[in-house]
């Protein structure tokens, strides 16, 4: 419901499915077995079609999965042509959330263990040394669904990036280590374009207010004898005006869900990028 409201009012959206138990994981309340994150990703995909951005353009959204999740290989097929349509998300953008430990295993040609988050929910709530200690302990205790070659998984991820332009690798340890409000909790995912790394929890959904000046509209000159550009006072004025405007958006803009409004008031996140640099 919350994603639908954001999409209806022209917002891009994202979510994390890393905490969803793996396919085949037992459901104690019914005696059945879970189907993993892909059915929920499919619902998310269809929601973006049903609630587009106010009829102006298609709804856009990304969903993130950590690379230790047992269904990571199925997720990497989510935008493949053909196959079971119920497990394809051609209108949503899958992305990956990667701990440093995985990259170390790739570099060292090591083995990577796929672990059901239902076995240890803290895997999604830890990062850095704490995650590594917990993860390796689970490995030593044999609490994994299967083990795979880390480099094989990495190569499959890279192949999908080149083929389909998605599955963006985001590095959760570095992101959380640099997060300005670390005491508030753990960052679980980014947004559609990976320039935002903010916190979600049960009562707050991250919102970032974005803009970007077009550098092609400004005149730059090189400082003689250097590879540096002279500072452009017009650009400085534009940046100051844009940041002021973005901050005003927090106070007067419309956020359709209380979780987003709560985040806006508490963190006042703004982002100013650039375009036209190549020109």
CA angle, 158 as apex, 155 and 159 as ends, to 5°? 85
Write the CB contacts of 101 (distance below 8 Å, at least 6 apart in sequence). 131, 132, 135, 136
For residue 191, indicate whether it is catalytic. yes
- 209 CA to centre of own chain: 17
Which member of 191, 200, 209, 259 is catalytic?
191
Rounded distance, CA 167 to CA 79, Å?
10
> What token pair was written down for 2?
């919350």
Please say if 227 is a catalytic residue. no
CA 276 – CA 125 distance, rounded (Å): 38
Q: At 238, is the secondary structure helix, strand, or coil?
A: helix
Which residue of the set 104, 130, 195, 265 is catalytic?
195
Name the 3-class secondary structure at 63: strand
208 is catalytic: no
Instruction: State the catalytic residue, choosing from 2, 139, 193, 232.
Output: 193
| Catalytic site positions | 191, 193, 195
């Amino acid at each position: 419901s919350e994603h639908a409201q954001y999409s209806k009012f022209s917002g891009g959206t994202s979510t994390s499915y890393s905490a969803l138990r793996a396919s085949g994981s037992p459901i104690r309340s019914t005696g059945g077995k879970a189907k993993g994150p892909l059915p929920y990703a499919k619902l998310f995909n269809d929601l973006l079609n049903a609630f587009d951005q106010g009829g102006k353009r298609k709804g856009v959204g990304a969903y993130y999965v950590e690379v230790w999740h047992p269904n990571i290989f199925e997720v990497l097929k989510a935008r493949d042509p053909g196959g079971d349509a119920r497990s394809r998300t051609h209108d949503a953008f899958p992305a990956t959330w990667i701990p440093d430990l995985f990259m170390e295993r790739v570099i060292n040609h090591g083995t990577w263990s796929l672990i059901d988050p239902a076995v240890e929910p803290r895997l999604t709530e830890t990062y850095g040394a704490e995650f590594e200690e917990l993860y390796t302990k689970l490995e030593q205790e044999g609490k994994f669904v299967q083990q795979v070659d880390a480099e094989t998984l990495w190569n499959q991820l890279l192949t999908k990036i080149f083929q389909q332009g998605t599955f963006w690798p985001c590095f959760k340890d570095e992101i959380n280590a640099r997060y300005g409000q670390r005491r508030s909790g753990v960052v679980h995912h980014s947004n559609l374009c990976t320039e935002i790394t903010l916190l979600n929890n049960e009562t707050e959904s991250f919102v970032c207010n974005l803009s970007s000046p077009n550098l092609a509209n400004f005149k730059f000159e090189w400082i003689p004898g250097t590879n540096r550009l002279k500072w452009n006072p017009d650009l400085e004025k534009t940046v100051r005006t844009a940041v002021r405007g973005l901050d005003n958006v927090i106070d007067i803009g419309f956020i359709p869900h209380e979780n987003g409004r709560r985040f806006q008031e508490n963190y006042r996140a703004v982002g100013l990028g650039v375009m036209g640099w190549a020109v």
